[in-house]
Structure 1
Amino acid sequence: MIDSKALSPSLGVEFTGVTDPLDSAFVHRAAEALKWRGVLLVRGLHLDDEQQLAFSRTLGQVVALRGQEIFPISINPAISSSAKYLKGAFYWHLDGTSDDVPVKATTLTGRHIATVGGGTEFSNTYAAYENLSEKDRERYDALRVVHSFEAAQRLVTPQPTEQDLAVWRSQPSHEMSLVWRRRDGRRSLVTGATADHIVGMDREDSRVLLDELLEWATQERFRYAHDWEVGDLVVWDNTGILHRALPYEESSSRLLHRTTVVGDEAFA
């Protein structure tokens, strides 16, 4: 029998009793949990790549990056060729802020875990917006923010080389509303490490406001911290849930396998 419980007051559902991730009852409950609770967890499911892909396709089309649908997540250069850039994941972020339509959801399976650190934290930007004062909602509703890959990478490498800058700036920046007005009527905050500056505001004042807002959006009451175990499946709504990896050693064997699901709603 499939059962479920909340991961925290503000977000998340943990399912137990799942033996077949493609069972129609579970697929339906998982989709509902993702929409309304933002994060879902099944411990000890031990999906292989094909099973992970099959489950991911119940949520939508899987992104194929250079023909690759399963992406290894590791900051160990011996494991991942993208290890250098993945260190940006230690900072709160949404994936796809440089795109008109961000990815809808992300799945991760735990293959190897870090001896120390290496957890993943999530924070609910729907709840963060809903709990703002009316005055702050009115203020933020009118603001637009430029997001860039460079902004996130400068947190990792504050003194970049010319080559670093060339690589970062090859990714387009993207301007969007600070408050995302959803087609279903809900609203969420679009913030995180890629938020570079607020349009039309002094840069220093802009930085102060963005930092204050991120601190608000990631306070403990809106968060869930996941401590990985081998075999875990974690899925989250990338459009409304900020996430970050907790630091771990570069030499660690920590390895997660990721899929991303194509989005269906543009930033607005």
Structure 2
Amino acid sequence: MAVTVTELTPTTGVEITGLSGSRLVDKAVAEECRSALERRGVVIYREADLDDDDLVAFSRLLGQVVPLPMGGHPTHQEIQRITRDPSKSPLAAYRESTFHWHIDGTTSEIPDRATLLTARQISDEGDGDTEFANTFAAYEALTDDEKRELEGVRVVHSFTASQLLVTPDPSPKERAAWDRNPAREHPLVWTRAGGRKSLLIGATAGEVVGRPADAGRAFLDGLLERATRPEFTLRHRWRQGDLVIWDNTGMLHRALPYGKASSRLMHRTSLAGEEAVA
């Protein structure tokens, strides 16, 4: 089958067809993937049909794979099962928070570099699509005055902030469990060593340092609304076997809601971060 490459929006996403299975586990393919990821933020291999061994092998060609000890996979510690079925994943109860725009690993000094997600089983109801928002492009679209306004602004990211979006009135026990997860303060604008800048926002962004809670929340909500406008976003409609890879440092993402009884099952690997937030 011939390989075709299609750019999806003016700023974001490339779709590749004609590569599947062990054909992906190739250094040249991985190098092309890394290049596309740098340029386009999201790389989609349609109906790639990678088995778990090849998923881990391809991930390792792209970078250092992060162990996921609570992933729920019986044989591969590198794979996390994404599902709302508690019999398949110990994290199933927290999946509703992923319906909100977020970046993975924002409570770490060095967030994950990229995420690979492949569809083991798509929803019978046709829901559970994944959306991406390009925070590099959103930053570039700001005016010079707006960019100056964001200089020096710092934000506290926490697991608690993301859970409050799902359960705004938690019990003391729930809140205490959330708060045991460490929070992290980051600059609102992430400046890479090469000078490229993106917005570090999303569900975990709970408060702006030095601002009243309500004012900070309104500020963050307004910025998130702007960063997720249609011109910055991409919606992926899953097919069985699809493999999607995204730059976790510059792409917000969210799953569109799917029910607790949904058959949707994804297998995920994560690549270790390469650059601290600065």
The verdict on a shared fold, with TM-score over 0.5 as the criterion, is yes
Deviation at 1:141, TM superposition (A): 1.8
| Alpha-carbon distance in 2 for matches of 1:141, 1:12 | 28
The alignment covers a number of residue pairs equal to 268
2:269 alignment counterpart: 259
Q: After superposition, what is the alpha-carbon deviation per residue over 1:74-101, rounded to whole angstroms, capped at 9, x for unaligned?
A: 1222332211112110000000010000
Q: After superposition, what is the alpha-carbon deviation per residue over 1:50-105, rounded to whole angstroms, capped at 9, x for unaligned?
A: 10001101111111122821100012223322111121100000000100000100
Q: After superposition, what is the alpha-carbon deviation per residue over 1:96-134, rounded to whole angstroms, capped at 9, x for unaligned?
A: 010000010000010111123100000100000000011
* 2:238 counterpart of 1:228: yes
* 2:258 counterpart of 1:248: yes
1:160 alignment counterpart: 170
* 2:78 counterpart of 1:69: yes
2:99/2:257 contact within 8 Å kept: yes
1:179 alignment counterpart: 189
2:73 alignment counterpart: none
Aligned counterpart in structure 2 of residue 151 of structure 1, from 161, 165, 183: 161
2:97 alignment counterpart: 88
Change (3 A) 1:28 1:2: farther
1:218 alignment counterpart: 228
| Alpha-carbon distance in 2 for matches of 1:206, 1:160 | 21
1:18/1:26 contact within 8 Å kept: no
1:105/1:260 contact within 8 Å kept: yes
| Alpha-carbon distance in 1 for matches of 2:164, 2:85 | 20
1:42/1:234 contact within 8 Å kept: yes
2:130 alignment counterpart: 120
Deviation at 1:154, TM superposition (A): 0.6
Q: Identity over the aligned pairs, expressed in percent? A: 48
1:209 alignment counterpart: 219
**After the TM superposition, which residues 3-152 of structure 1 pair with which residues of structure 2 at under 5 Å, given as runs?**
3-19=4-20, 20-66=23-69, 68-116=77-125, 117-152=127-162
| Alpha-carbon distance in 2 for matches of 1:74, 1:253 | 8
Q: TM-score, normalized by length of structure 2?
A: 0.94
Amino acid aligned to 1:99: S
| Alpha-carbon distance in 1 for matches of 2:255, 2:213 | 28
Q: TM-score, normalized by length of structure 1?
A: 0.97
2:26/2:58 contact within 8 Å kept: no
Amino acid aligned to 1:93: H
Deviation at 1:25, TM superposition (A): 3.0
The more displaced of 22-31 and 226-235 is 22-31
Amino acid aligned to 1:12: G
Q: After superposition, what is the alpha-carbon deviation per residue over 1:198-228, rounded to whole angstroms, capped at 9, x for unaligned?
A: 1001111111110000001111100100111
1:189 alignment counterpart: 199
| Alpha-carbon distance in 1 for matches of 2:88, 2:261 | 10
| Alpha-carbon distance in 2 for matches of 1:17, 1:24 | 17
| Alpha-carbon distance in 2 for matches of 1:139, 1:200 | 14
Change (3 A) 1:36 1:210: same
- With CA pairs under 8 Å and 6+ residues apart, which has the higher RCO, 1 or 2? 1
**What stretches of structure 2 of length at least 5 have no aligned partner?**
70-75
| Root mean square deviation, CA, Å | 1.1
